[in-house]
Amino acid sequence: MRICVFCGSSPGRSDLYRDAAAELGQLLAAERVGLVYGGASCGLMGVLADAALAGHGEVTGVIPQAVVALEVAHRGLADLRVVGTMHERKALMADLSDAFIAMPGGIGTLDEFFEIFTWHTLRIHQKPIGLWNVAGFFDPLLAMLDHCVREGFLSQAARELIVVERSASTLVRRLLPRRA
């Protein structure tokens, strides 16, 4: 099993976000769930990958060549896949993953989250999608999605596709099927 995690290439202002990224990386390694992520060594992405690697977890990074050229690719990964474009990156990350988690991040994280959410609503995939709502980070986004439902631009059924939790372990447990 593999979970794709979308998160910031910046660390954010609060140590809570860095601590959360480390917690999730450690949890995935301990649960023997592979991590698929954006392949960077910086920000929350780097913290997440480093924590999973420290726990001897399986980590797959997917990064566009243009980003490698900026010297932010994680050089400690045994499985770093370099692709041509951001579109190829998102498609490969989706193909490699059994579920998705978005945690705090910026516009890139939101882009990845919304694309994978859109693909689910269009039945391009049927993989579970979660938001790890660290310290209420996604509360404004969730309010906007609820507003979209009230205004008739998003169905309640589509809104309910998103699993939202404030606990990493609960979120991972809800996203993955029971394993023996």
The total of structural domains in the chain comes to 1
Residue 180 lies in a domain: no
pLDDT tens figures, 22-75: 999 999 999 999 999 999 999 999 999 999 999 999 999 999 999 888 878 999
SS3 track for the chain: CEEEEECCCCCCCCHHHHHHHHHHHHHHHHCCCEEEECCECCHHHHHHHHHHHHCCCCEEEEEEHHHHCCCCECCCCCEEEEECCHHHHHHHHHHHCCEEEECCCCHHHHHHHHHHHHHHHCCCCCCCEEEECHHHCCHHHHHHHHHHHHCCCCCHHHHCCEEEECCHHHHHHHHCCCCC
Residue 18 lies in a domain: yes
Domain at 110, CATH number: 3.40.50.450
pTM: 0.95
Q: In which domain, by residue range, is 33 found? A: 2-175
Residue 105 lies in a domain: yes
